[in-house]
Chain A
């Protein structure tokens, strides 16, 4: 049967050492094709130094209804941030 091939998600690392960020999707039949298509579509203007491609069917997304349960509890934990702590007067930052 004729299809438009499988859907893949593309992640691009802009500079070496940086994070891989989601750039978009491509269609491809196999992993080599997905990499080449991602290169031809998402790095035409020097946007990339490295690429990941992942079949879209393997991406699991959190449920929007669970957002409060998942993310709100972190709001309270202000002791995880350095600004929570008071430095004695005159002490130098490391």
Chain B
């Protein structure tokens, strides 16, 4: 059975890892945007995410209290100790795939961060307040592009529809609660993810309807990240991200 400190640590790492891995994927767009302006927009969002990861992981390291830093947590943890949602680690795909991913994540994060602003833990509430502003912008950006691609051309509509169909099975996990949620919800530190489900799917439905995208059908929802069980993609992200820290363990950068 987890104690409270372990529960907070795991919860913070979950929030931090989501931002870290999502930011990592967005940063892969650098020099690859469909137009130079969009290149800058995507890397701006990558920066927001990495900044958020830094804040949550720093606090996680403090809570753990054994002298590690946010960098130690990001760069020296193994794959099975990462708790980001599977949705964040999927490859960037084409621009439609990234936009669909951005929409599915930013609609969630928008209500998640808003709810976390009321967390009984002041540090979490503070990071959430800052993140909420950023995420509102990510959502606007994703919603506008969903409309453009959904209604633009037959090709863009087809690509976007396929992207939503493929990504849909990863949305269920966003609401999955685990041991740490049970402990922290009682104390008002964490939030009840079940309550976010209806507003989430309502918002998505309305945006997809407005964009000529059919609602995907869920036969099955893939989960696993709460237990540190990921897709095969995460290992490759980490071997790239952690390479220098692992190859030169004595070095400071």
Contacts and interface: CB of A to CB of B under 8 A. Distances in A.
Are chains A and B touching in the complex at the 8 Å CB cutoff?
A: yes
Given A37-B41, A40-B41, A41-B40, A4 B35 contact: yes
B140 interface: yes
A57 interface: no
| Chain B, interface residues (CB within 8 Å), range | 10 to 19
A26 B41 CA distance: 12
Contacts of B37: 26-28, 33, 37, 40-41
Contacts, number: 28
B35 A36 contact: no
A31 B98 CA distance: 22
Given A4-B35, A5-B35, A27-B35, A36 B40 contact: no
| Chain A, interface residues (CB within 8 Å), range | 10 to 19
B44 interface: yes
A44 B35 contact: no
B144 interface: yes
Contacts of A70: none
B141 interface: yes
B148 interface: yes
Interface of B: 35-38, 40-41, 44, 140-141, 144, 148
Interface of A: 4-5, 26-30, 32-33, 36-37, 40-41, 44
